[in-house]
Chain A
Amino acid sequence: MEKERHVLVVFPHPDDEAFGVSGTIATHVQNGTPVTYACLTLGEMGRNMGNPPFTNRENLPKIRKEELKAAAAALGIQDLRMLGYRDKTVEFEDDEKLAKAMLSLINEVNPSLIITFYPGYSVHPDHDATGAAVVRAVESLPAAARPKLHCVAFSNNCVEELGEADIVHNISAVADKKLAAIQAHRSQTEQMFGDVTEKLKNQDPQMMVWINNERFWTYKFDK
């Protein structure tokens, strides 16, 4: 993995960082690279309430905020920003204002690499809207001044339309940190984690590929 000056990660939900990019984040942290994680919402609309329910609609954001902090700590992220937008409403925000907010973050942090979702290929409307805002912000910079932009995509048509990911990081060296980050988002991941733990114990080949490889598409600007 290339050594970066500063990495800026921009996602809309607590736990978006856990599955696809936490190994990459942990590796940058281990390399001594400062990582800023800007999380737009607190996942207020999460639906996993447990059975019997362990919380309610009004208290869930408080739980997810603490889980986000714990996950960031597990990965060694020192600069965690919670931007205060509301889950499932990012796409309805003023596009220009949102891009401006992203631009001011970029100007402040001055990253050499930004990681976000690939707009149009990331399934959840918040993912697509967040990625699109970051793309607009980076696009507004002169081409020579733009940081690298690595995007996560997982829609059913992403490989068909974007081709295979051009960047694949094997993160097995920090897999324990990745699992700790996933586990930190207990309210979202506990239900599936029992299954994951079992498969890890047995070194399930499909699971190991999924855990150990993080895929990114370099965003292609028109100009």
Chain B
Amino acid sequence: MEPIKDYRQVQEAINAFANQDVYIHLETTNGAYASHHDQTFFSAGAYIRNALVRYEIGKITGNDPYRVGLKINLGWIYAEGLTHFEVDEQNRLLLAGHDNKGKLAVALEISATPFE
């Protein structure tokens, strides 16, 4: 993965998936041990894999870390805290937000074919 330096590259990749059926992976997590190590920490997370949607607009905004929002058929998908991206060998757009220790805190991925 590379740091998102030029958001236009990401915007182009988002545009390429617009107005077609795509599969979404979206997750955010603090890690399973967050409240074990610090009992005052309120741990929360969410995960969805292979949601089949279609978006008319997708946009990257913000200034490192970035936010991405997708306006889908009847609603929205968004992620914040994104720092890295990659268009992988299967032509999927992988976006990730890594914290200052390199731990994955958020991921948003878009693919024309289902994720494994």
Contact = CB atoms under 8 A, between A and B. Distances in A.
A50 B103 CA distance: 7
Interface string B43-73: 0000100000000000000000000000000
A49 B98 contact: yes
A47 B94 contact: no
A104 interface: no
A58 B102 contact: no
Contacts, number: 63
B109 A48 contact: no
Nearest to A60: B104
Contact of B25 (A52, A57, A155): A57
A58 B103 contact: no
B84 A53 contact: yes
A56 interface: yes
A45 B103 CA distance: 11
B104 A58 contact: no
Interface residues of B, number: 28
A51 interface: yes
A58 B29 contact: no
Given A48-B103, A49-B102, A51-B102, A56 B94 contact: yes
Given A58-B94, A58-B115, A123-B36, A51 B86 contact: no
A206 interface: no
Interface residues of A, number: 21
Interface string B85-105: 010100010101010111111
A45 to B, nearest CB: 7
A202 interface: no
B13 to A, nearest CB: 14
Nearest to A59: B88
A88 interface: yes
Interface string B104-115: 110101000001
A101 to B, nearest CB: 21
A47 B29 contact: yes
Interface in A35-62: 45-53, 55-58
A124 B36 CA distance: 9
Interface string A144-158: 000000000001100
A139 B86 CA distance: 48
Nearest to A62: B116
A148 to B, nearest CB: 28
Contacts of B33: 123-124
B40 interface: no
Nearest to B102: A51
Nearest to B111: A58
Interface of A: 45-53, 55-58, 88, 123-126, 155-156, 191
16 contacts: A45-B27, A49-B1, A51-B101, A52-B1, A53-B1, A53-B98, A53-B102, A56-B86, A56-B88, A56-B96, A57-B25, A57-B27, A57-B96, A58-B92, A155-B36, A156-B39
Per CB-CB distance, the 7 closest pairs between chain A and chain B, nearest first, are A51-B102, A47-B103, A124-B32, A47-B104, A53-B1, A123-B36, A57-B107
